[in-house]
Amino acid sequence: MALIQTFEKEGNLLFKYRGQFPIILFLIAIPFVNATDYFTITEANEKIYTLISFALSFLGFLIRFYTIGTTPKGTSGRNTKQQVADVLNSTGIYSMLRHPLYLGNYLIWIGIASYVFSFLFIIIISLVFWLYYERIMFAEERFLENKFGDEYLNWSNKIPAFIPRISNFTPSNIPFSFITVLRREYSGVLACVLGFCFVEVLKNNKMGQELFSDKMVYVLGITLVLSFVLRTLKRKTKLLTEENRS
- The DSSP result for 217-232, as a single string, is HHHHHHHHHHHHHHHH
Do residues 24 and 195 make contact, with C-beta atoms less than 8 angstroms apart? no
Q: How many Å apart are CA 43 and CA 210, to the nearest integer? A: 18
CA-CA distance, 49 to 129, in Å (whole number)? 21
**Helices 119-148, 21-35: crossing angle, 10 deg rounding:** 170
Exposure string over 45-55, b if 16+ CB within 10 A, otherwise e: eeeeeeeebbe
Please tell me whether the overall predicted TM-score, pTM, comes out greater than 0.85 for this model: yes
pLDDT at position 16 is: 72
Query: H/E element holding 173?
Result: none
Question: What is the residue-level pLDDT of the chain in tens, covering all 246 positions?
Answer: 566 677 667 667 767 767 677 787 788 899 999 999 998 999 999 999 999 999 999 999 999 999 999 887 766 545 545 566 667 888 899 999 999 999 999 999 999 999 999 999 999 999 988 988 888 888 888 888 888 888 888 988 999 989 999 999 998 888 899 999 999 999 999 999 999 999 999 999 999 999 988 889 999 999 999 999 999 999 999 898 887 777
Q: How far apart (Å, rounded) are the C-alpha atoms in residues 41 and 117?
A: 9
pLDDT at 140: 86
pLDDT of residue 173: 83
DSSP result, 118-168: -HHHHHHHHHHHHHHHHHHHHHHHHHHHHHHTHHHHHHHTTS-SSS--GGG
Rg (the chain; Cα; Å): 19
Confidence at residue 17, expressed as pLDDT on a 0 to 100 scale = 67
Q: Give domain 3-176's CATH number out of 1.10.3470, 1.20.140, 1.10.287, 1.20.120.
A: 1.20.120
pLDDT given for residue 23 in this prediction? 81
